[in-house]
Every structure is written in structure tokens, then in C-alpha cells.
């Protein structure tokens, strides 16, 4: 049994100098030199095989967990949202899902099928592909705890199926073949007759009570250090409400940075560094980023004048 999430038939799109502010949850970011939105695996394969081997590639889904600098991105950004989005039951308790499917949609379908533990995926504000790339988690669950195998594509357009054992997985980190990207995954769950939409509703309610939902953010900015919580360290450093331009540390959850409407990527990055420095000074702990930062500073910005390199 499979369920398709596409309601209309998309077409492949290739855009030039496309503002990444349209494609990130912070709503900031300069232009991508080329922005490609494939409508099928075949159109993605054709496009990848046409690129020079030296072309920089970046992948994006819903654009959470991503900060694109104001100077934009040289190379190609590939958006997975129009790739096949079927959620397919491939065994009694196994589910295959495309990388472009939002985690919340995935969670709801698994719960309908009485499979678990899958409800925690509703707390991940991104796509399955993004969750795979960083071993995203929520409410005590982690993506790769349930992965059986993944389907990948390389820059020549060659598809492969790889087992869970071919990847090194840690807290918010995954490493495997550096030049392959996730197209789909098969998850191994268990039958759970108690699984119910009330589980998801309870999780989302809890998330809404503790996190600034509905605001322009990327989700959690920093990873939790071993045995500690990044938000607690940031709050103890007196940083709730700290600002840079129109970027502000959330008063509700200190591990969230909010764009109040007109922040730049430079504002957000400056605030990130301020938080890091102040937390080191107050606790001796240097917070590690959960958010990815890509691209170049805007010409003439402080970061550019200091010779700062992209992370």
C-alpha cells in the first residue's frame, strides 16, 4: 500500500540567481547561482550528469536547519520537494518514504498504519531527507534508530541502495559516502495497536508550549552538549532577548533565534557567534552548531572584510 503526497503534477524548474530567502525557514539568504527543482528521479539524473565534476552542490528540502549567507551560493542548489513523495508500506512493519516528504506527513501516515515508534517524526521541522542527513530527532527519538536501508544518488546520477551498517551515526551526525545524497529510505518499525493521532497531537502541543512556533526560525541552532541542554546554558548566560539587528534569541526557548521580519543572514550569524562566546565565558562550554551555514558574506560586509570563510 502506498500513499502519494503530490496533488498536482510538477515540472522540473531551473532558475538562475534565485533568492534563497524564498527557500529557507529563516527567510534570509542571497541568490543561488543555479536553483534546480527536479520533478522526477530521471530529470534529476539527467541534470546531475550534465554538470561539471567541480560544480558545488547543495541540497535543500523545506529549508529548516539552514542559514544561507547574504552573498549567496556559487554552484547549484537542488530542491527535493517535487521528487516522488510516496509513503509506501513494503512489508508488515517496513515503510519506504521519499526524501522530499515532510517528517510530519510521514509520522501521520505511520500512525494511521499503527506502526511505531514513529510519532516523534512529527516534531522534526523538515523533510525525511534532511532528517537522514543529520540524524534529526525529537521527543527522545532519532531518525537512524529505525533506518533499515537508504537509496542514494551520486553526482553522476548513479543510484545505489545502501544498508544502515554502511553509515557512521552519532548524535545529530551521519557520515557515509561524501558524494552521495539521499533519495529515499526504508524504515523498520513495529506493530503498535496503541498508536493514535492523539500521540502526535500531544507531542505537537508540548512542542508549541515550549518552542516559538509560527516564528521565522530554523529550529534548534545548537546541539545539546553531552549531559546538558544548549537552551539552559544560553539562558544561564543571560542571553534570552539578545539581539543583532532584527534577529533575536527567543524569550520562549533560548536555543531558537528568531527573524523578527527584516533580519539579514549576517545579523543571525553575528548573534550565533555572540551566543557561543558568551556561553564559553559563562560555562566553559563551546556550543556546536546544529544549523548548517553555507554561502558567501555579502560584498563589503564585516565578515567579508575579515576574510571569513564559509563553514
The catalytic site residues sit at: 172, 220, 290
Phi, psi of 115 (to 5 degrees): -115, 145
Residues 6+ apart with CB under 8 A from 140: 120
Are β-strands 57-60 and 257-259 bridged in parallel, bridged antiparallel, or unpaired? unpaired
Distances (CA, A) of 187 to 108, 134, 135, 152, 156: 14, 16, 13, 15, 26
Closest by CA position to 121, among listed 102, 147, 98, 134: 102
Check residue 21 and report its DSSP letter. Answer: G
Check residue 22 and report its DSSP letter. Answer: G
Closest by CA position to 14, among listed 70, 69, 79, 109: 79
Check residue 300 and report its DSSP letter. Answer: T
Closest by CA position to 80, among listed 23, 29, 146: 23
Residue 263 cell numbers, joined? 533580519
Amino acid at each position: 500500500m502506498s500513499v502519494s503526497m503530490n496533488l498536482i503534477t510538477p515540472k522540473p524548474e531551473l532558475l538562475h540567481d534565485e533568492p534563497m530567502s524564498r527557500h529557507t525557514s529563516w527567510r534570509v539568504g542571497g541568490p543561488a547561482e543555479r536553483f534546480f527543482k527536479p520533478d522526477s528521479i530521471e530529470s534529476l539524473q539527467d541534470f546531475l550528469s550534465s554538470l561539471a565534476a567541480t560544480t558545488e552542490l547543495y541540497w535543500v528540502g523545506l529549508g529548516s536547519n539552514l542559514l544561507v549567507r547574504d552573498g549567496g551560493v556559487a554552484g547549484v542548489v537542488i530542491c527535493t520537494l517535487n521528487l516522488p513523495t510516496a509513503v509506501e508500506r513494503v512489508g508488515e512493519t517496513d515503510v519506504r518514504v521519499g526524501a522530499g516528504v515532510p517528517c510530519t506527513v510521514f509520522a501521520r501516515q505511520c500512525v494511521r498504519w499503527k506502526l511505531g515508534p514513529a510519532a516523534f517524526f512529527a516534531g522534526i521541522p523538515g523533510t525525511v531527507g534532511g532528517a537522514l542527513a543529520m540524524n534529526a530527532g525529537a521527543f527522545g527519538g532519532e531518525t537512524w534508530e529505525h533506518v533499515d536501508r537508504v537509496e542514494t544518488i551520486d553526482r553522476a546520477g548513479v543510484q545505489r541502495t545502501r544498508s544502515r551498517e554502511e553509515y557512521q551515526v552519532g548524535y545529530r551526525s551521519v557520515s557515509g559516502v561524501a558524494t552521495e545524497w539521499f533519495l529515499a529510505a526504508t524504515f523498520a518499525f513495529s506493530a503498535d495497536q496503541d498508536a493514535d493521532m492523539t500521540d502526535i497531537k500531544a507531542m505537537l502541543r508540548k512542542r508549541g508550549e515550549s518552542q516559538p512556533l509560527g516564528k521565522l526560525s530554523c529550529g534548534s541552532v545548537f546541539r545539546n552538549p553531552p549531559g546538558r541542554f544548549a537552551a539552559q546554558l544560553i539562558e544561564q548566560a543571560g542571553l534570552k532577548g539578545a539581539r543583532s539587528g532584527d534577529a533575536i534569541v527567543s524569550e520562549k526557548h533560548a536555543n531558537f533565534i528568531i527573524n523578527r521580519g527584516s533580519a539579514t543572514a549576517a545579523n543571525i550569524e553575528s548573534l550565533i557567534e555572540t551566543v557561543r562566546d558568551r556561553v564559553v565565558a559563562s560555562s566553559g562550554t563551546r556550543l556546536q552548531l546544529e544549523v548548517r551555514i553555507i554561502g558567501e558574506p555579502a560584498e563589503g560586509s564585516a565578515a567579508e572584510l575579515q576574510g571569513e570563510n564559509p563553514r
